[in-house]
Amino acid sequence: MDNNMIFYIMGGSAGAFVLIIIAYFVLSKKMQKSEYKRIQQLQKGTRENKFSAEVLLQKLYLTYIKIPFIKRYVLKIRRRLEIINIDDEYNTRKDTAKILTRALVILVPIFVLTIMITSKNYLLMFILLIFEVFMIDTLIDGSVDKIDNKILKEQIDFFSEIRHAYHEYNMVEEAIYQVSQDDEKEISRQGEKIYEILISDDPEMELEKYYDIAPNSFLKEFAGVSYLTKEFGDRKVDGASLYLKNVNNITQEMQLEILKRDKLNYVFQSLSIIAIVPVLLLEPLKSWAINNFSFVASWYQGKPGMIVQILILIITFVSYVLVRKLKDNGSTGIDTKNTENPWQAKIYKKKIIKKIVDLFIPKRGTKEYKKVQQQLKDSASPLKMEWLYINRIALFIVTFFASVIIFSQLHVVAINYVYTEPTTDYDLIGGLSEKDEKKAMELTEEDNKILDKFRGKIKTTDKEIKLAVQRLKYYQDADEEEIDLAVERIQGKLQIVNSEYMQWFEMLLAFVFAIVGYMAPIMLLTFQVKMRQLEMEDEVMQFQTIILMLMRIERVNVEIILEWLERYSDIFKPPITKCVNNYEAGAWEALEAMKEEVSYTQFIRIIESLQAAVEKIPIQDAFDELDSERDYYQEKRKESNERLIKRKGMIGKAIGFAPMVCLFVGYLIVPLVFIGLTSMSSSFTSMTATK
């Protein structure tokens, strides 16, 4: 019965196979007679037989977006590229995949190299791998910044062509349309967007939307000036078009910005790498020192070496973060962080966590609350007060447990070294031959038998150890003096092993480090505020350029100027926003209140000129010195940028080279000199005693 069933199944399968083949041939003949064949031939002509990099990048994008960890970086890159590419999904995906692929090609070999170098030190391997993940941000930001800079440089030619087209058509929107027809340039998409805004039914509303997504402030200025010229018309000033003069002013600003960025990139291009390199050199340097100077093995392989390693890792991490903040502080790049629903917001929605976090947040209206809120504003941080305190609490918890784990690991390292150190009475400076080292390791193994027996027994006496030693086969032929030396040596090792456990002061230190971690976000905000203060002069000079462009346009008043200043402000945004909101209640009073909030002299002069334009004289007369002394302000702006770059460069070099200095001084020179001198001193003492 079973055999018949098998035959039936085989026969049915064979019959089904024959039917499928017949159906295939029937369908093929029908397709040959139908439109299907013609469609196939058309597709054949459009298919690309050779390898296509663009198709590969599109496929890579689809792969990256499915991988959980990499997906985060895909979305981060997209947020910036979407603005640059303006609704061009194909190019956005292509550029995203290209940038991420380059980052992975560089980092994957570094990951592999790190694992190979630190294969015997899992703690160091883990820390390095986590640290190298942060390098992805640097590579990604650098790649996207290149695209930003490319667009900025294309804008120079774009505005130059606008001048010629405007002379030909004498219409703003037509000039922009004609110049934007070059599809090969990234800037053309921005030009097409601005053209669509100008010819839309509600250009003012569309312009406000564009201000939120424009890649840089210069395109905002250009779009705004183009709109005002279209609405209020152009006029001649000193025999030249006011619109073209304003475009020329924006071009000069861009040229200064390009020079500034190029110089900053030149100064900082290697500092991030210099800050990272020391952590990759820890293990190679350690191996070199032990191989060439064997007397330092106890230091490098013991607890002191591990402590210095951890300190260098912390210094490197802090230096790396500060160098990035210092370099990026003055950029006009768009923030790519997800400020709508980050992980902090998701956690804060939990009722229990919300109650705990609220206990740490200062009460609204208190001096401390206002101080922290002001720091968030002054540093241009995207964080909310709740998110900041979630970061602080998270860092407190992570730092505390990380400190406890590190202290535990230090005890493990100290115990392991006692169990693995070659036991010898030879002079450490001279080192050991292969034969002597083998003999020393045999002695260590014998000592370990006694250590295993009495480990954890704090009250072990020399008598108990001596009895255990005498029972060992290794000491059967040993005399009394050799046994006493062994007892003394093992007792010393046993005291070390039994003392290596978590102490109360280590828990206290972990708590202290956790408090430092809790304060770290506030300290980082303070650093960002200090660095942003260096940009004050540059921002005020940008205000002067904006006022220079607006003051000759008809129907422009002080309120419009304030709205433009608010739109392009960064450091002075809070007081300007407050002034705009209070303007209708009293123009002069609102400006006076803003003047009391700021302390920067050059900005106060702008406010006083605005006050004069409100009540006494026309705007053009209030700021007449800006036009007459334009060349002076341009030179001053250049000199200001030079000083800013120089100061940032000095601070950046001091921070960036700190880990390298700590590596060679604290991890190489000091141990070699200190331990070498100590060993020589003990050797001379021994030689003197034997005489």
Mean pLDDT of 74-92: 75
Q: What is the pLDDT of residue 21?
A: 62
According to DSSP H, which parts of 329-461 are helical?
343-348, 351-360, 367-378, 385-420, 434-454
Q: What is the pLDDT of residue 16?
A: 56
Q: What angle do CA 613, 618, 624 make, to 5 degrees?
A: 90
Distance CA 388, CA 381 (A): 10
**Residues 16-72: tens digit of each pLDDT:** 555 656 655 555 555 555 444 554 554 454 455 455 677 888 888 888 888 887 887
Token pair for 647? 């100061």
Decide if 254 contacts 156 (C-beta within 8 A): yes
- For residue 336, what pLDDT band results from cuts at 50, 70 and 90? very low
Decide if 332 contacts 217 (C-beta within 8 A): yes
Helix or strand (DSSP H, E) at 237: strand 236-237
- For residue 398, what pLDDT band results from cuts at 50, 70 and 90? very high
Environment class of 294 (CB within 10 Å of its CB; exposed 0-12, middle 13-18, buried 19+)? middle
User: Is residue 94 pLDDT above 60, yes or no?
Assistant: yes
Environment class of 598 (CB within 10 Å of its CB; exposed 0-12, middle 13-18, buried 19+)? middle
Q: What is the pLDDT of residue 432?
A: 58
The distance of Cα 585 from the centroid of its chain, to the nearest Å, equals: 43
- For residue 13, what pLDDT band results from cuts at 50, 70 and 90? low
Decide if 407 contacts 506 (C-beta within 8 A): yes
Decide if 454 contacts 494 (C-beta within 8 A): yes
Number of residues written out for the chain: 691
Nearest to 176, CA basis, from 160, 195, 193, 163: 195
User: Is residue 593 pLDDT above 80, yes or no?
Assistant: yes
Nearest to 100, CA basis, from 146, 57, 132: 57
**Residues 150-180: tens digit of each pLDDT:** 888 888 888 889 888 888 888 888 888 888 8
User: Is residue 515 pLDDT above 90, yes or no?
Assistant: yes
What is the pairing mode between strands 240-241 and 236-237?
Answer: antiparallel
Mean pLDDT of 435-443: 73
**Residues 595-648: tens digit of each pLDDT:** 888 877 888 888 888 888 887 778 878 887 776 666 777 777 778 778 888 888
For 395, the 3-state DSSP assignment is helix
DSSP β-bridge partners for residue 506? none
> Which residue's entry shows tokens 């475009």?
247
287: CB partners within 8 A, 6+ apart: none
**Residues 249-291: tens digit of each pLDDT:** 888 888 888 888 888 888 887 787 788 788 778 878 888 888 8
Distance CA 81, CA 301 (A): 48
Residue 616 dihedral angles phi and psi, to the nearest 5°: -110, -55
Token pair for 687? 């030689």
- For residue 519, what pLDDT band results from cuts at 50, 70 and 90? very high
Decide if 466 contacts 483 (C-beta within 8 A): yes
Q: Chain-wide mean pLDDT for the chain?
A: 78
DSSP β-bridge partners for residue 237? 240
For 236, the 3-state DSSP assignment is strand
Q: What is the pLDDT of residue 425?
A: 56
Distance CA 548, CA 544 (A): 6
Tell me the domain boundaries of the chain: 59-269, 339-531
DSSP β-bridge partners for residue 269? none
**Residues 477-502: tens digit of each pLDDT:** 777 787 788 888 888 888 877 887 77
Distance CA 597, CA 604 (A): 10
Nearest to 77, CA basis, from 54, 52, 109, 103: 103
Nearest to 333, CA basis, from 192, 253, 214: 214
User: Is residue 4 pLDDT above 80, yes or no?
Assistant: no
- 458 vs 683, residue with greater confidence: 458
The distance of Cα 437 from the centroid of its chain, to the nearest Å, equals: 47
Nearest to 359, CA basis, from 313, 393, 309: 393
Instruction: Provide the percentage of residues in the chain whose pLDDT is more than 70.
Output: 84
Token pair for 598? 């700021």
637: CB partners within 8 A, 6+ apart: 256, 538, 541
Q: What is the pLDDT of residue 334?
A: 42
DSSP 615-628: HTS-HHHHTHHHHH
According to DSSP H, which parts of 421-479 are helical?
434-454, 462-471
Nearest to 361, CA basis, from 349, 351, 352, 372: 372
Sign of the C-alpha dihedral, residues 495, 496, 500, 504? Answer: positive
Residue 645 dihedral angles phi and psi, to the nearest 5°: -65, -40
Token pair for 153? 């440089």
**Residues 654-683: tens digit of each pLDDT:** 888 888 888 888 888 888 887 777 766 666
Token pair for 316? 């490197």
Decide if 675 contacts 300 (C-beta within 8 A): no
Token pair for 8? 């039936």
- For residue 395, what pLDDT band results from cuts at 50, 70 and 90? very high
The distance of Cα 495 from the centroid of its chain, to the nearest Å, equals: 46
- 119 vs 349, residue with greater confidence: 349
CB count in 10 Å sphere of residue 254: 21
User: Is residue 220 pLDDT above 50, yes or no?
Assistant: yes
Environment class of 608 (CB within 10 Å of its CB; exposed 0-12, middle 13-18, buried 19+)? middle
- 298 vs 358, residue with greater confidence: 358
Environment class of 152 (CB within 10 Å of its CB; exposed 0-12, middle 13-18, buried 19+)? buried
